Chain A
Amino acid sequence: MPTYKLFVNGEHVSVDAPADMPLLWVLRDLLGITGPKYGCGIGACRACTSHLNGKEIQPCVVPIADCANKHITTIEGLADGETLHPVQQAWLEEDVPQCGFCQPGQIMATAALLKTNKNPSDADIDAIANVCRCGTYCRIRKAIKKAAQA
């Protein structure tokens, strides 16, 4: 079984895993990083959304082999210590979460979007395809706009 070196939330880690193991299970089952959630396993619900070298990915469909020696950021690594990322702060201020299960993915998708689009339009926000079963979409939209102004 191959060994992979990764930088997860700023730390060097090394894991033994089959090449085709999705990053989600490496994070959750081998590294104990449970912020990224399993919701579908096929990249459809996007509850696991995280960043690979700063770009949005769905770890449930990205094999570990594609992550070797790369930087992975999960929801746990988004804040700067105790200082929340502006997207997390906006989420709190708008009281976005209900059950909260999809929100790590929603937040990571937004954080990735705001890196390349400082002022997303309603159409840009509509393009975020993460599922929220509780239906928090209106507050997510408000929080994205608030975070964009931060």
Chain B
Amino acid sequence: MSTGTSAVGRRRFITFLVAAPTLTIAARLGIDVTADAPAMAAGRPTTTSSEPTTEADLGTTYVLRVTSDNRIIFESPKADVGQGISTALAMLIAEDLDARLTDVHSELADADNLPGQSVGGSRSIRDAYDPVREMAAQARARLVTAAARRWGVAADTLTTRDTAVHAPDGRSETYGALAADAASVTSPDVATTPKPISEHTIIGTPASQQEGRAIVTGAMRFSLDVAVDGALPTVVARPPTIYGTVESVDASDTEAMSGVVAVTTIPTGVAVTARTFHEAQRGREALRVTWGPGPVDDVSDSTVNERLAQAIPPFADPPLLSDHVDGRFEFAFVNHAPMETNAATADVRPNSAVVWSSTKVPNGTRRQVAEAIGLPEDAVTVHVTRGGGSFGRRLSSEAQIEAALVSQALGRPVKVMWTRDDDTQHGRMRPASMHRMRITYLAGEMVSFENLSSAVQLDFGLSPVIIGIDPGALGYPSIGSAFFALTQHTPYALGTETKELNEVPFEFPTATWRSVYSGHNRAAEELMMDRLASKLGKDPLGLRIALANDQPAKALLRRLRSESAWGTALPAGWAQGIGYHEEYDGRAGCVVTIDATDPAAPRVTSALVAADMGIPVNPMGLEAQFMGSVMDGIASILRAGNHIDSGSVRESSFADFLWPRQRHAPTNFRLVLMPTTGTSIAGAGEIAIPAAAAAVASAYGRATGTQPWRFPLNF
């Protein structure tokens, strides 16, 4: 029934009418859309050839429903963990449906049968932009057609606004009143194409997050806030070292304690189920467990650094008469540390199971839970709740699996909560990394850039960003090294580039951390630009403009220079710093000002981000993402990291994992959006992190007259 033409994202998709009592339209992305769609569609689907994409290839379904009470219900396959995607997608719908934004209600869809149902790689808005707008336009056309038929007038005389169809004679009907009729309109009488950008009134206009009121009143339900009758609090005793094992358990004291209901040994530890989480934790403390060793018991930070250094090959011999600037950079492990720890509620029955939890990979969670409890996938329902942050953490499903295993063993619903020390010491981390870089130049011309890096092996888990990457076929030894090569783009003309990542196969619990390799590797590359500028006696921002690969990059950097009053005189111990990055179909630059008068307690006092997002959907949401990205930069450069002592993570909570507080945040943040290009749309969640991290380190170095190289700096 509808085309999948896409000027912007070149995604392959179809939209179709779903047989239902009230108007229901679906949009489906995926390489197999022609095979699957006709059975679901009341119309005749067509597709256009397109560039294969990661997530879309495996299928994602969006569903829009108009209810008789004039609400637009949007079933979003995109988990919202604070990135504001529900609001941004609702804006796309409101725009092309001509509905009031407040009438569009996003609901997080349950796990479906399509592995593409996932959030990652800053893909959500890029994948959804075309299909979701077209889905809305398809719905609008049917509502208009239904009104025309009801009133006996020509459809093209009718207009739509504020969730209603209006006739020239003043008559109007709400969408809700037309929804039943519109459900049987197979062939609309008006065009079903989305609006041109010039007619947008909602896309590009700042909108507050739709969930705001529920959040500020405490009504928002996160993983453990869902009321499931009889679901008992459960915590898990975990080994003293990473991936240690349970050898034997004496639970006699625990079982005798008030409030304790059951003790269950599971592969990851010993679960204590009780009336309350307090009693479960007390019970956990009273367990006597003999633990077996884990795979990294003899590994500490020194071991990691030694192996990382060994994994980096030497530089090539520099050409005769050339000069060069070298750098070595190290980044510690760093937790994702979302505010809501890993958590899930599960109710496993003999032939079925239900899980309530935040997950960015609902379909993958369902598959893993089904495997763990030995049920077919279609017997498992995963209700996706809002998540209290993710930053990459919710791409793995440990708590959901644990909850299902304990529920199955006990024959009753349970809710598993990882305590903060669990999440800090056994949760996921960005892998520690080391980077050696050399820029070689000759007679003022850039000759080569060598970037030889190593990192602890990264567990990509179910992250959608690796779908379709076959490292062997591409000639790389690991997924991580292939992903590094495919994503690490240097935006400057530095001559011949040599870039490689060598993964060291330590078994640490790692996961993609917001911006994956770019957060450290690209930040380090930016610091090399500072070193090059220093060696050449040039201004670091001016040198970036001179060496930037293309005009949009130069334009953004110039804008950053003017908006930041770059080069303004500052007191001793203060300095500005700069970082720039291109990825996710967009560009972002950052200038921060730091007060490093006390080098042990520096404070970023202001931050400016300039971004080229192509078509900005929600400037309010973009500002939020970039503000958060600046904090991630401040955290990972100045304060927050994890030490490894003989197979254990030293930190255990927010008391020693030094995530920034208000007193570490800039008092002044500003976002400048470059003019809309209308030709592309960029992902916002991760793009500013490398730029911000670089800017913070750059400012610190310039303020203190040092060349920072080991991060976090005060660790």
Q: Assess the A39–B667 pair: CB atoms within 8 A.
A: no
A139 at interface, CB cutoff 8 A = yes
Q: Assess the A47–B339 pair: CB atoms within 8 A.
A: yes
Q: Assess the A79–B217 pair: CB atoms within 8 A.
A: yes
- Tell me the minimal C-beta distance from B273 to chain A in angstroms: 12
Q: Assess the B222–A37 pair: CB atoms within 8 A.
A: yes
Bitwise, B641-678 to A at CB < 8 A (1) or not (0) is 00000000000011100011111011111000000000
Most chain B beta-carbon neighbours within 10 Å: one of A30, A91, A99, A141: A99
CB-contact partner of B213 in A38, A92, A137, under 8 A = A92
Which B residues, 655 to 703, have Cβ-Cβ distances below 8 Å to chain A? Answer: 655, 659-663, 665-669
CB-contact partner of A100 in B279, B386, B391, B660, under 8 A = B386
A150 at interface, CB cutoff 8 A = no
Give every chain A residue within 8 A of B419 (Cβ-Cβ).
41
Q: Assess the B211–A100 pair: CB atoms within 8 A.
A: yes
Q: Assess the B388–A99 pair: CB atoms within 8 A.
A: yes
Q: Assess the B339–A131 pair: CB atoms within 8 A.
A: yes
Q: Which of B77-85, B317-325, B359-367, B425-433 contacts A (4 or more CB under 8 A)?
A: B77-85
A150 to B36, CA, bound (A): 56
- Tell me the minimal C-beta distance from A128 to chain B in angstroms: 5
Q: Which residue of B lies closest to A46 (CB)?
A: B654
Q: A129-B661, A135-B665 are in contact. Are A95 and B624 (CB under 8 A)?
A: yes
Bitwise, A78-100 to B at CB < 8 A (1) or not (0) is 11000010001001100111111
- Tell me the minimal C-beta distance from B219 to chain A in angstroms: 8
A10 at interface, CB cutoff 8 A = no
Give every chain A residue within 8 A of B630 (Cβ-Cβ).
135
A18 to B655, CA, bound (A): 27
Q: Which residue of B lies closest to A82 (CB)?
A: B217
A136 at interface, CB cutoff 8 A = yes
Q: Assess the A99–B218 pair: CB atoms within 8 A.
A: no
Give every chain B residue within 8 A of A57 (Cβ-Cβ).
none
Which A residues, 104 to 150, have Cβ-Cβ distances below 8 Å to chain B? Answer: 104, 107, 122, 125-141
- Tell me the minimal C-beta distance from B609 to chain A in angstroms: 12
CB-contact partner of B417 in A36, A38, A135, under 8 A = A38
Q: Assess the A129–B624 pair: CB atoms within 8 A.
A: no
Q: Assess the B276–A134 pair: CB atoms within 8 A.
A: no
Give every chain A residue within 8 A of B624 (Cβ-Cβ).
95, 98, 134, 136, 139
Q: Which residue of A lies closest to B626 (CB)?
A: A135
A106 to B387, CA, bound (A): 18
Q: Which residue of A lies closest to B633 (CB)?
A: A135
Q: Which residue of A lies closest to B217 (CB)?
A: A79
Give every chain A residue within 8 A of B139 (Cβ-Cβ).
none
Q: Assess the A37–B388 pair: CB atoms within 8 A.
A: yes
Q: Assess the A101–B653 pair: CB atoms within 8 A.
A: no
Q: Assess the A42–B655 pair: CB atoms within 8 A.
A: yes
Which B residues, 380 to 437, have Cβ-Cβ distances below 8 Å to chain A? Answer: 386-391, 417, 419-420
Q: Assess the B258–A18 pair: CB atoms within 8 A.
A: yes
CB-contact partner of A29 in B212, B277, B662, under 8 A = B277
Q: Assess the A21–B215 pair: CB atoms within 8 A.
A: no
Q: A18-B258, A131-B339 are in contact. Are A126 and B662 (CB under 8 A)?
A: yes
B44 at interface, CB cutoff 8 A = no
B487 at interface, CB cutoff 8 A = no
Query: How extensive is the interface on chain A, given as a class?
Result: 35 or more
- Tell me the minimal C-beta distance from A50 to chain B in angstroms: 10
Q: Which residue of A lies closest to B669 (CB)?
A: A138
Q: Assess the A99–B667 pair: CB atoms within 8 A.
A: no
Q: Is chain B's interface secondary structure helix, strand, loop, or mixed overall?
A: loop
Q: Assess the B212–A101 pair: CB atoms within 8 A.
A: no
Which A residues, 1 to 29, have Cβ-Cβ distances below 8 Å to chain B? Answer: 1, 17-18, 21-22, 25-26, 28-29
Give every chain A residue within 8 A of B149 (Cβ-Cβ).
none
Give every chain A residue within 8 A of B627 (Cβ-Cβ).
135-139
Q: Assess the B389–A38 pair: CB atoms within 8 A.
A: no
- Tell me the minimal C-beta distance from A9 to chain B in angstroms: 10
- Tell me the minimal C-beta distance from B151 to chain A in angstroms: 38
A34 to B338, CA, bound (A): 18
B176 at interface, CB cutoff 8 A = no
Q: Assess the B338–A133 pair: CB atoms within 8 A.
A: yes
Q: Assess the B665–A98 pair: CB atoms within 8 A.
A: no
- Tell me the minimal C-beta distance from B42 to chain A in angstroms: 38
Q: Assess the B388–A101 pair: CB atoms within 8 A.
A: yes
Q: Assess the A100–B215 pair: CB atoms within 8 A.
A: yes
B459 at interface, CB cutoff 8 A = no
- Tell me the minimal C-beta distance from B414 to chain A in angstroms: 13
CB-contact partner of A134 in B82, B208, B620, B667, under 8 A = B82
Q: Assess the B420–A135 pair: CB atoms within 8 A.
A: no
A140 to B387, CA, bound (A): 20
B631 at interface, CB cutoff 8 A = yes
A22 to B279, CA, bound (A): 10
Give every chain B residue within 8 A of A101 (Cβ-Cβ).
82, 222, 338-340, 388-389
Q: A88-B217, A99-B82, A99-B389 are in contact. Are A28 and B662 (CB under 8 A)?
A: no
Q: Assess the A135–B632 pair: CB atoms within 8 A.
A: yes
Q: Assess the B337–A133 pair: CB atoms within 8 A.
A: yes
CB-contact partner of A131 in B214, B219, B659, under 8 A = B659
Q: Assess the B211–A97 pair: CB atoms within 8 A.
A: yes
Which B residues, 182 to 232, have Cβ-Cβ distances below 8 Å to chain A? Answer: 208-209, 211-222, 224-225, 227
- Tell me the minimal C-beta distance from B236 to chain A in angstroms: 15
A45 at interface, CB cutoff 8 A = yes
- Tell me the minimal C-beta distance from B142 to chain A in angstroms: 33
Q: Which residue of A lies closest to B208 (CB)?
A: A95
Q: Assess the B215–A97 pair: CB atoms within 8 A.
A: yes
Give every chain A residue within 8 A of B669 (Cβ-Cβ).
138
B278 at interface, CB cutoff 8 A = yes
Give every chain B residue within 8 A of A134 (Cβ-Cβ).
82, 339, 389, 624, 628, 631
Give every chain A residue within 8 A of B227 (Cβ-Cβ).
32
- Tell me the minimal C-beta distance from A116 to chain B in angstroms: 18
Give every chain A residue within 8 A of B22 (Cβ-Cβ).
none
Q: Assess the A97–B258 pair: CB atoms within 8 A.
A: no
A119 to B84, CA, bound (A): 31
Q: Assess the A107–B665 pair: CB atoms within 8 A.
A: no
Q: Assess the A22–B278 pair: CB atoms within 8 A.
A: yes
B131 at interface, CB cutoff 8 A = no
B341 at interface, CB cutoff 8 A = yes
Give every chain A residue within 8 A of B216 (Cβ-Cβ).
75, 84, 88, 91-92, 96-97, 103-104, 107
Task: List the 6 closest A-B pairs by CB distance, nearest first.
Answer: A35-B218, A135-B631, A99-B82, A101-B388, A75-B218, A100-B215
Interface CB pairs A-B, < 8 A, 29: A18-B279, A21-B278, A28-B224, A29-B275, A37-B339, A38-B277, A39-B420, A41-B419, A42-B653, A42-B655, A75-B216, A75-B218, A84-B217, A95-B212, A95-B620, A97-B215, A99-B82, A99-B340, A101-B222, A101-B388, A104-B218, A127-B662, A129-B663, A130-B661, A131-B659, A134-B339, A134-B624, A134-B631, A138-B627
